[in-house]
Amino acid sequence: MKNSILGLSMVVALALSGCATTPSKPLTFDQLGQFSNTPLNAQSYRISFQARPNMSFGTAEEITLVKAAQTTVQNGFRYFKVLNDPSNRNQPPRQAVVYSSPMYYPYGYYRRYPGFWPDPFYDMPRVVTIDPVQVSYTIECYKDQKKAPDDAFDAYLILKYLGQKYGLGPNGQVLPPPVPKTAK
């Protein structure tokens, strides 16, 4: 009897925890943050990206580069060069160290309890980002490699290799997120 109650309670606990950990729906490329695409002239564009709060600065830079490649291809160009832009000096956003909230009961109360097990993650510092990550590029686009500078990016190669990571096709079109497989 005792084993069946213990087994039943474990099944209920596993079932409830399984519901709490279901993954969320994957995001499309346009849902990763706020994009801004401003044409400056016939072949220059200003690409800006404000990331979601939980995104690192390096990932935001990579997504902005993919957006620059998408803009280049959708406007009929193949190569682009990121111009030296003073607004983007690779300065990561401000961060702060945050500690957990204190325990409700006095710390000594838990020490006297015979089943006390200290929480290894209690009062461990965490680093949080204060400012949202913003990255901006000014790009100049070129149709052929002869006119493009030596350090220009090939937009088709970026979309081919990095675009699929973020849900973009080889021509810059946004692909629908993959349908998760259900377990049988």
Q: Which residue has the higher pLDDT, 58 or 152?
A: 152
Residue 95 within a domain: no
Residue 146 within a domain: yes
Full strand arrangement of the beta sheet holding 134-142: 33-39, 44-51, 134-142, 79-82, 153-154
Q: What is the pLDDT of residue 47?
A: 93
Residue 1 within a domain: no
Residue 47 within a domain: yes
- Average pLDDT rounded to a whole number, residues 147-153: 90
Q: How many CB atoms lie within 10 A of CB 156?
A: 17
What's the farthest any 2 CA atoms get from each other in the chain?
82
Residue 66 within a domain: yes
Residue 4 within a domain: no
Q: What is the pLDDT of residue 41?
A: 93
Q: Count the domains in the chain.
A: 1
**Among candidates 65, 88, 90, which has minimal Cα distance to 152?**
65
Residue 107 within a domain: no
Answer yes or no: pTM beyond 0.85. no
Q: What is the pLDDT of residue 61?
A: 87
Output the average pLDDT for the chain: 77
Of the ranges 60-64, 106-110, 130-134, the best mean pLDDT one: 60-64
Residue found under tokens 């401003």: 38
Query: Tokens at residue 103, please?
Result: 């325990």
Q: What is the pLDDT of residue 96?
A: 79
Query: Which pLDDT tens digit goes with each residue over 68-122?
Result: 999 999 999 999 999 876 555 666 667 778 776 655 555 555 555 555 555 555 5
What SS3 state is found at 39? strand
Q: Assess whether pLDDT exceeds 90 at residue 55.
A: no
Domain that holds residue 41: 26-90+132-166
Residue 98 within a domain: no
Residue 158 pLDDT class (50, 70, 90 cuts): very high
Bridge partner residues of 93 (DSSP): none
Q: Assess whether pLDDT exceeds 70 at residue 32.
A: yes
